[in-house]
Amino acid sequence: MAVGIFDSGLGGLTVLDAVEKRLPDVPFVYLGDNAHAPYGVRDADDVYELTTRGVERLWAAGCDLVILACNTASAAALRRMQESWVPRDKRVLGVFVPLIEALTEREWGDNSPPREVQVKHVALFATPATVSSRAFQRELAFRAIGVDVEAQSCGGVVDAIEEGDMILAEALVRSHVDALKRKMPNPQAAILGCTHYPLMQNIFQDALGPDVQVYSQPNLVAESLADYLTRRPEMLGEGTAKQFLTTGDPKRVSARATQFLRREITFEQA
């Protein structure tokens, strides 16, 4: 009954932490493609190849349902995977849609036409690859009209977080927020479009100011997954063991992950 969680590195652990708390009886298999992180500077074909390889590894671990806890993979690879690659008996879901549904105040599965929403000016902070894909704007357009989105490519933030250099990460976040506000001085809401960024949510909020509502993904994804599994319990795979897998150095990744979640995490070689 395992569910797979895939990320390019450690950022997806923020999603894993939230879904484990929401669904304590479900074993999760986490795969971090740390050997190839970060994805945010790669082109779409490269991201697609790496993501499909990771998803296949999770299927082999007994996970019929895989969550791409990586915005870059969700933006650059998911639609292509769903349209032409994922078998009928498997599911691969991304992390964009729950975020957009919260922003537009639409319930899960609401397929009504796009409509006016209260929030008109949205700041999007994401990796270069996610920004260039325009996937967020495309998914938003399916659900809302009249929303101005200003995207800020946050180069360097993921690398700093993965290396544990939170002082550098904070400096970069503040710099990227300043750059965004030069283009959109008064955003009403901000989207943290990378699963690493919740670790810096307080910094984003402080830099943006108290009047900006900051949307972060982990808890939203957890609620959406719980709802999905209630409706589709057959998608719980055959796997029963909780695992942490990495394409990188398990010892090094385990140490970083333990710092990330503030509890001991032991990775195995994927």
Looking at this protein, which amino acid is placed at residue 129? A
d(CA 157, CA 162) in angstroms, rounded, equals: 9
Buried-exposed string 51-86: b where 16+ CB fall within 10 A, e elsewhere: bbebbebbbebbbbbbbbbbbbbbbbbbebbeeeeb
Residues 54 and 33: beta-carbon distance below 8 Å: yes
Catalytic (active-site) positions: 70, 194
pLDDT at 92: 96
Instruction: Per residue of the chain (270 residues), give pLDDT as tens.
Output: 799 999 999 999 999 999 999 999 999 999 999 999 989 889 999 999 999 999 999 999 999 999 999 999 999 999 999 999 999 999 999 998 888 888 888 876 677 899 999 999 999 999 999 999 999 999 899 899 999 999 999 999 999 998 889 999 999 999 999 999 999 999 999 999 999 999 999 999 999 999 999 998 999 999 999 999 999 999 987 878 899 999 999 999 999 999 888 899 999 999
pLDDT at 105: 85
pLDDT at 239: 78
The label of the residue with tokens 């307080």 reads 202
pLDDT at 108: 62
Q: Spell out the domains of the chain, with CATH numbers in brackets.
A: 3-94+218-269 (3.40.50.1860), 97-215 (3.40.50.1860)
Which pTM does this prediction carry? Answer: 0.90
Residues 189 and 140: beta-carbon distance below 8 Å: no
DSSP 76-102: HTHHHHHHHTS-TT-EEE-SHHHHHHH
pLDDT at 109: 67
Judged by DSSP in three states, 91 sits in: strand
Q: What is the DSSP letter of 87?
A: -
Looking at this protein, which amino acid is placed at residue 266? T
In this structure, the strands spanning 121-126 and 3-7 are: unpaired
Find the length of the chain: 270
d(CA 157, CA 166) in angstroms, rounded, equals: 9
